[in-house]
Structure 1
């Protein structure tokens, strides 16, 4: 489990491609690798990956074919930086919201507005996922817990503060790029439950 508070952006220094998976080698800081062990879970752009090897602050992850297809890790190249968060430790402050590291879908960057007053990103997603995305609600964006701005039938707006831009890789994204999306699980459960109840009542009334 994760909090959506990105700890660092780290460079992908190599990608070894094999049948059915890619092995990512990510350069981390000594602070991030302190106490990290093989088998631990680390979020890379919001995707929960298992550590397979640690070598001189280089951390290795095996990324399965399905994960490559369903997330933007499939478009990641050597030299790119990914958002990194280690697993949640109970007893410490939680500043974001609980994320599982299981990406639901990808959003396409529709527009970027960077002015002296603001930095806004407009995202477009499949309309079925907009049932779970609400104005002022939370959503995981490349593993970063963010508040939703204006919403439409096909997407939503993000209003990013300088601190978020400094600590994450979101400033690197341009129109047409793909960003990993994890919706809030509690919101999904509530919406799905209400829809089932309403559908059942409608069926009984017919």
Structure 2
């Protein structure tokens, strides 16, 4: 389980990839990697992955076919930066959103607007996921827990404060770049139950 509060960014220093599988080595000197035991969960761009090797300065994760198909990891290249968040423990403070690290889909960045103290981003998401995104609701974009500022049809927007701009990768993205999307966990289950109810009881 994660909170969408990015603890550090990391750089991909080694990348072995096919169309269906990848092995990443990620370096992040500002992260206390000694606290990442083998088998630990870590969110990389919002994707819950398992640490398979760890040194004082970097760690290794494997990426399986389902993850390659559903996320933007297949687009990553050597030296790209990624957002990192280690999994929380039961006694940690829940300071953020509830994020599972299970990416639903990707969205395309279609607009960037710079304001005096914020950066507004607008994305297009596949239509089937649009009902899961609501204005003022929660969403995780490449692992960053954010509040939806606008949602209409297959478009939604978020606004980044200076801290988020400085401590994550999101402000560096260009138009048409893909980002990983995890919709609000509670909203997913509500809609699923409504679909079941409609199917079973509405005639």
Structure 1 window deviating more from structure 2 (8-17 vs 28-37): it is 28-37
Which structure 1 segments of 5+ residues have no match? none
Superposition CA RMSD, Å: 1.6
- Greater C-alpha radius of gyration: 1
Superposition map of 1:1-12 within 5 A? 1-12=1-12
Determine the structure 1 residue equivalent to 2:47.
Answer: 47
User: Which has the higher mean CA deviation after the structures are superposed, 24-33 or 75-84?
Assistant: 24-33
More deviation, 113-122/2-11: 113-122
Alignment correspondent of 1:67: 67
The count of residues paired between Structure 1 and Structure 2 equals 203
In the other structure, the counterpart of 2:186 is 186
Q: Do structure 1's residue 164 and structure 2's residue 164 form an aligned pair? A: yes
Secondary structure of the structure 1 residue equivalent to 2:99: coil
Q: CA deviation at 1:199?
A: 3.9
Aligned to 2:82, the other structure's residue is in SS state strand
Query: TM-score w.r.t. structure 1 length?
Result: 0.92
Q: Distance in 1 between matches of 2:133 and 2:113?
A: 21
Query: Which residue does 1:130 correspond to in 2?
Result: 130
The answer to whether the 8 A contact 2:70-2:106 is kept is yes
* Offset at residue 22 of structure 1 (A): 1.5
Tell me if 1:13 matches 2:13: yes
TM-score scaled by length of structure 2: 0.94
Rate the CA distance shift 1:137–1:19 in 2: closer, same or farther, 3 A: closer
